[in-house]
Each structure stands twice: as structure tokens, then as C-alpha cells.
Amino acid sequence: QVQLVESGGGSVQAGGSLTLSCVVSTRPYVRNVFTWFRQAPGKDREGVAAVYVDSGRKYYVDSVKGRFTISQVNAENTVHLQMSNLKPEDTGTYYCAAASATLIGGGWSAPDGYTYWGQGTQVTVSS
């Protein structure tokens, strides 16, 4: 059973920065895809950034490229999302999710493929 616990959300002004963390508890630590999703009120859940553990490849949605960085720290079983130059449109609940890279393939941004989800952490960016 994979458990994901997010932290690091908060309220910032536009242009500010936040770092989200997702602690992954697996036995053993399975080679997966870890992805940060976000969901704004009234909108669909959106894939923001993903990291494929085995290859180290990282992917981002166009709207966050150059501003967000996803990283993994194997020794800590933690996945981080560093967010800078935040914009009001980045506001939403951010979720960490995990899936088998074999099952996901290249479709990292589709939430339906993910089995394990954290509880979410709120990010609010004011103008």
C-alpha cells in the first residue's frame, strides 16, 4: 500500500515562491511515476509536473515551464515541487500521485491512470 502525504501549501502574493513536499511510504520504495496535480474550484484536475523515477525524466505542463521544478530525494522517499514566480492562476489544491510507469507509459498528465493519491495541500496566490 502506497501512502502519500503532502505539505508546504500556503498563501503568497503573485511573484512569490513555495515548495511542496510529498513523502512517499512504500514497502519497498517502488519505481514509479510521481506527479503533482492541481485542481482549481470548478475546474478539472490538471497534471502539473511528473518525474519518472527509473529514468529521471521530468515533464511539465506548458503553463509552469521555467517556473516550477519537480525533484525526488530517494534517500528521503520525498518528491518536491519548487514553485517560483507564482501567479493567481496557480491557485488550487495540489495533489501528489503515484502510478506504475509501466501502466502510465507516456500519459503522465491523465489523472485516471493514478492509483495512489495524497490528501492535497492548498496553494493560494493573490494578485
**Tens of pLDDT along 49-97?**
999 988 889 999 999 999 999 998 877 789 999 999 999 999 999 999 9
Nearest CA among 69, 35, 33 for reference residue 52: 33
pLDDT tens for residues 6-65? 999 999 999 999 999 999 887 544 568 999 999 999 999 999 999 998 888 999 999 999
Determine the Cα–Cα distance for residues 84 and 80; give it in Å rounded to an integer: 13
Among 51, 52, 74, 48, which Cα is nearest to 61's?
A: 48
CA atoms within 13 A on the CB side of 74: 10
Confidence at residue 30, expressed as pLDDT on a 0 to 100 scale: 55
**What are φ and ψ of residue 2, in 5° steps?**
-100, 130
Q: What is residue 55's three-state secondary structure?
A: coil
How long a stretch of residues is the chain? 127
Q: What are phi and psi of 36, to 5 degrees?
A: -100, 125
